[in-house]
């Protein structure tokens, strides 16, 4: 895993290269609308809903650079009552050079989110614990498979 302030070149076989310039927390929030009352109740384990989204922003001042933001929202509910809502937007500033369109798509759609996910997972767990709940362990995600599924349904050409 890259240091949050280092520049590291990342590539795989048949994939374009990119450099991680910076990893940072862009935004986060935690809400527990039923606190403190919820802590006085006995309840069964909550159901969790998780939403994941990736956003890619071009930078006018640096055409070779992109900001990739991985956003994860988690809501824990008991019946129709929301125990907590946690939202984290983790971002990376990356440089791309000499990549085809399909390579760039895979980098920003799979490789960078794969790098960002452990940071998101740790931040969510920390926020949930600070909110008074048990730690949350988000399961790993195969971002490459998610990217391929999205590419196949939206007509993106994949570079294999």
Q: What is the CATH number of the domain that holds 32?
A: 3.10.420.10
Residue 138 lies in a domain: yes
Segment holding 113, helix H or strand E? helix 112-130
Residue 71 lies in a domain: yes
Task: Characterize 91-127 residue by residue with b for buried, 16 or more Cβ atoms within 10 angstroms of its Cβ, and e for exposed.
Answer: bbbbebeebeebbbbbbbbbbbbbbbbebbbebbbbb
Per the DSSP assignment, residues forming a β-bridge with 89 are: 27, 71
Residue 3 lies in a domain: no
Query: How do the pLDDT tens digits run along the chain, 160 residues long?
Result: 444 444 445 555 455 678 999 999 999 999 999 999 999 988 788 899 999 999 999 999 998 899 999 999 999 999 889 999 999 999 999 998 888 887 888 899 999 999 999 999 999 999 999 999 999 999 999 999 998 888 777 654 444 3
8 three-state secondary structure:
strand
Report CA-CA distances (Å) from 5 to 20, 91, 122: 9, 12, 17
Q: How far apart are the first and last CA of the chain?
A: 25
Residue 141 lies in a domain: yes
Number of structural domains (the chain) is 1
pLDDT at 16: 61
Residue 1 lies in a domain: no
Domain housing 145: 8-154
Residue 78 lies in a domain: yes
Residue 146 lies in a domain: yes
Residue 160 lies in a domain: no
Asked if the bond preceding 107 is cis, omega within 30° of 0, the reply is no
């Amino acid at each position: 895993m890259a240091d949050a302030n280092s520049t590291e070149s990342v590539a795989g076989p048949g994939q374009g290269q990119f450099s991680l310039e910076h990893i940072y927390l862009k935004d986060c929030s935690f809400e527990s609308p039923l606190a403190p009352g919820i802590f006085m109740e006995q309840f069964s384990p909550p159901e969790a809903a998780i939403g994941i989204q990736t956003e890619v922003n071009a930078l006018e001042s640096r055409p070779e650079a992109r900001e990739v933001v991985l956003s994860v929202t988690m809501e824990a509910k008991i019946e129709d009552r929301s125990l907590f809502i946690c939202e984290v937007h983790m971002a990376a500033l990356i440089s791309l050079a000499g990549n085809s369109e399909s390579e760039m798509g895979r980098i920003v759609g799979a490789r960078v989110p794969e790098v960002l996910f452990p940071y998101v997972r740790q931040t969510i767990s920390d926020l949930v614990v600070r909110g008074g709940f048990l730690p949350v362990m988000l399961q790993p995600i195969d971002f490459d498979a998610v990217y391929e599924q999205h590419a196949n349904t939206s007509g993106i050409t994949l570079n294999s």
